[in-house]
Amino acid sequence: MKLTLKIFFGILMLLNTSLAYKPVVLVHGIMTGSGSMEIISRRIQEKHPGTKVYNVNRFESWSSLETMWHQVLEIGLDIANISSHYPEGINLIGYSQGGLVARGIVQTFPNVSVSTFISLSSPQGGQYGAGFLHVVFPGLVKESAYELFYSRVGQHTSVGNYWKDPYHQTLYEEYSVFLPYINNHIMSAKSDDFKSNLLRLKRFVLIGGPDDQVITPWQSSQFGYYNVNETVVELREQDIYMSDRIGLRALDESGRLHIVTVPGINHFNWHMNVSIVDDYLLPYLD
Ligand SMILES: *[C@@H]1O[C@H](CO)[C@@H](O)[C@H](O)[C@H]1NC(C)=O
Ligand SMILES: *[C@@H]1O[C@H](CO)[C@@H](O)[C@H](O)[C@H]1NC(C)=O
Ligand SMILES: *[C@@H]1O[C@H](CO)[C@@H](O)[C@H](O)[C@H]1NC(C)=O
Ligand SMILES: *[C@@H]1O[C@H](CO)[C@@H](O)[C@H](O)[C@H]1NC(C)=O
């Protein structure tokens, strides 16, 4: 009898913990795959037992260079399917390019219900720097990369879709098919949805740091970016915030925007460091 009771309460407790945490969806970075997110996956399950983790394995390696919209739409359908099984919502973590794909999904899919969205060192404000270029295009220098990226052909790569050359703003607006739209910098028929969908978040956590060395400027991980003379203008001084184009200001003013700066972390360590998971991811995962 005693043993039966113990087993009964044991099962109850297991059920309880497995119901306690929302599922987490992980989106990997450029030129890697789901394997690169395993440390985060395992740590979440170790520290928050019972959490169901979905580690996206689409667009791995070279196919991570496919266009941003293609990745947003394909991965978005998968995540919508996952989300449909969890009426309470899911949590979403995207690393590097994966954080920008994830933002595109949140803003595009009304049937993806995200509670906490964590962007882990992602080029949310754009990218203009060799550190990132050389991961994929060793021969290119940043000053002339726009000649490739601001063309029909250049827009067939994910990097071209968020390349933001501060000296060629007009070409950026003319050619870039992703970032200026998802940022409501150029208005479209979808602009209202892009904003209202982002505003559904319970928490939006933007993590980045000054020793990243790949995301350039590093403040791009928090929507900061270069002005026309390459001086960094931080998020709250940016038009996207001041004019509240996508809801960042409203999220901030309602206490839902969390800007987290962590020094001493190189870009390739954010997702490999267990103490980053413990200190900066787990506290936001409900
Ligand atoms: C949705 O997810 C279920 C498993 O949860 C799977 O069996 C099904 O094939 C998925 N559907 C689509 C359209 O991806
Ligand atoms: C989610 O919405 C998209 C269109 O926005 C649709 O194609 C997809 O089938 C929906 N998925 C689910 C699981 O409802
Ligand atoms: C950058 O340019 C703007 C005008 O285009 C000017 O007002 C500002 O002083 C410049 N900043 C620096 C640091 O050169
Ligand atoms: C891991 O992260 C901690 C901060 O949480 C930092 O102190 C440590 O230096 C990091 N290790 C590496 C290898 O980046």
Round to whole Å and give the CA distance between 27 and 91: 11
**Using CA atoms, how far apart are residues 274 and 281, in angstroms rounded to an integer?**
10
pLDDT of residue 20: 81
Which residue has the least CA distance to atom 3 on ligand 4?
A: 275
Q: Which residues contact 256 (CB under 8 A, 6 or more apart)?
A: 201, 202, 203, 204
Note the pTM of the prediction, 2 decimals.
0.92
267 classed as catalytic: yes
User: In one letter, which amino acid is 223?
Assistant: F
CA distance 45 to 59: 24
43 domain-assigned: yes
Is position 2 within any domain? Answer: no
Give the distance (Å) from ligand 4 centre to CA of residue 37: 17
Answer yes or no: is 19 within a domain. no
Are 158 and 182 contacting, i.e. CB atoms less than 8 angstroms apart?
no
Q: What is the Cα 149 distance to its own chain's centre?
A: 22
Surface-to-core class of residue 10, CB atoms within 10 Å of its CB (0-12 exposed, 13-18 middle, 19+ buried): exposed
Whether 188 is catalytic is no
Q: Is residue 9 part of a domain?
A: no
Backbone angles phi, psi at 152, to 5 degrees: -55, -45
- Which of 231, 232, 233, 237 best tests ligand 3's pocket when mutated (most atoms within 8 Å of CB)? 231
Q: What angle do CA 63, 86, 250 make, to 5 degrees?
A: 80
Where residue 88 sits, what CATH number does that domain have?
A: 3.40.50.1820
* Ligand 4 center–CA 252 separation, angstroms: 27
- Beta strand 114-120 pairing with 203-208: parallel
Question: What is the structure's pLDDT at 17?
Answer: 45
pLDDT, residue 132, reads 75
239 a catalytic residue: no
pLDDT tens profile 36-70: 999 999 999 999 999 999 999 999 999 999 999 99
Task: Identify the domain containing residue 48 by its residue range.
Answer: 24-284
Nearest CA to ligand 3 atom 11: 229
| Residue 17 counted as domain residue | no
Residue 271, token pair as written in the block? 């997702």
Task: List phi, psi (to 5°) of 213.
Answer: 70, 0
Number of domains in the chain: 1
87 lies in some domain: yes
Residues 6+ apart with CB under 8 A from 38: 55
Between CA 138 and CA 115 the distance in angstroms is 38
Please state at what angle helix 191-198 crosses helix 97-108, rounded to 10 degrees: 110
End-to-end CA distance of the chain: 36
Provide the pLDDT for residue 7: 54
124 within some domain: yes
Tokens, residue 155: 């827009």
Question: Which residues in the chain come in under a pLDDT of 50?
Answer: 1, 12, 16-18
In a domain, 130, yes or no: yes
Q: Which atom of ligand 3 lies nearest, measured to the CA of 227?
A: 1
Nearest ligand, CA 228: 3
H helix or E strand, kind and range, residue 45: helix 38-47
Site residues for ligand 4, CB cut-off 6 Å: 264-265, 269, 273, 275-276, 279
Ligand 2 pocket by Cβ (under 6 Å)? 77, 80-81, 84, 109, 111
Gap from CA of 216 to ligand 1 centroid (Å): 38
- Are 106 and 92 contacting, i.e. CB atoms less than 8 angstroms apart? yes
